[in-house]
Chains A and B, each alone.
Chain A
Amino acid sequence: MSASKTGKFGASLANLRSLESLATRDTPLHRISPTIKIAATFAYIVAVVSFGVYDFSGLLPFAAYPIIVASAGEIPYGLLFKRTLIALPFVAFAGTANIIFDRAPVELAFGLKITGGMLSFAVLILKTLLTVSAVLVLAATTPLNAIASGLKRFGLPCILVLQFVMTWRYLEVLIDEAERMFHAYVLRSPDGKFVKFKDWPMMAGQLFLRAYDRAERVYGAMQCRGFDARRIHTHNIRETGGEIFGLILFAAACAALRCFNLSAAVGGIFS
Chain B
Amino acid sequence: MHMADALVSPAVGGAMLAVSAGLVAYSARKMRKDFDPSRIPLMGIMGAFVFAAQMINFAIPGTGSSGHIGGAVLLAALLGPYAAFLALTCVLVIQALFFADGGLLALGCNIFNMGFFGCFLAYPIFLKPMAGNFSNPVKVLLASILACIVSLQLGAFCVVLETLVSGVTQLPFGAFVALMQPIHLSIGVVEGALTGLAIVFVYRARPQIFLECNAQKSFSYRAVLGSLLIAALAIGGGLSLLASGDPDGLEWSMEKVAGTAELESSGAVHGAAADVQEKTSFLPDYSIPDSESAAGTSVAGIVGSLITLAAALAVGFALKPRTKRTRVCV
Contacts and interface: CB of A to CB of B under 8 A. Distances in A.
Given A41-B104, A49-B8, A171-B52, A19 B40 contact: no
Interface size, A (range): 35 or more
Given A208-B202, A211-B49, A163 B5 contact: no
Nearest to B50: A167
Given A86-B99, A173-B48, A94 B163 contact: yes
Q: Is the interface of B mostly helix, strand, loop or mixed?
A: helix
A159 B32 contact: yes
Contacts, number: 200
Interface stretch (A63-71, A105-113, A126-134): A126-134
A122 to B, nearest CB: 12
Given A139-B98, A171-B52, A212-B45, A127 B6 contact: yes
A163 B41 contact: no
A178 interface: yes
A15 B99 contact: yes
Contacts of B316: none
Interface stretch (B143-151, B166-174, B267-275, B306-314): B166-174
B5 A50 contact: no
A147 B97 contact: yes
B49 A208 contact: yes
Contact of B28 (A101, A159, A201, A229): A159
A180 interface: no
A230 B103 CA distance: 30
A102 B170 contact: yes
Contact of A128 (B5, B35, B98): B5
A218 interface: yes
Interface string B296-316: 000000000000000000000
Give the 7 A-B CB pairs with smallest separation, nearest first. A166-B44, A157-B28, A167-B47, A97-B171, A131-B5, A127-B6, A215-B41
Given A48-B5, A49-B5, 11 more contacts: A15-B99, A16-B98, A45-B104, A101-B171, A127-B6, A128-B6, A134-B104, A166-B40, A170-B47, A211-B49, A212-B45
12 contacts: A9-B55, A46-B14, A49-B5, A49-B6, A87-B100, A95-B169, A128-B4, A147-B97, A170-B48, A175-B52, A208-B201, A212-B42
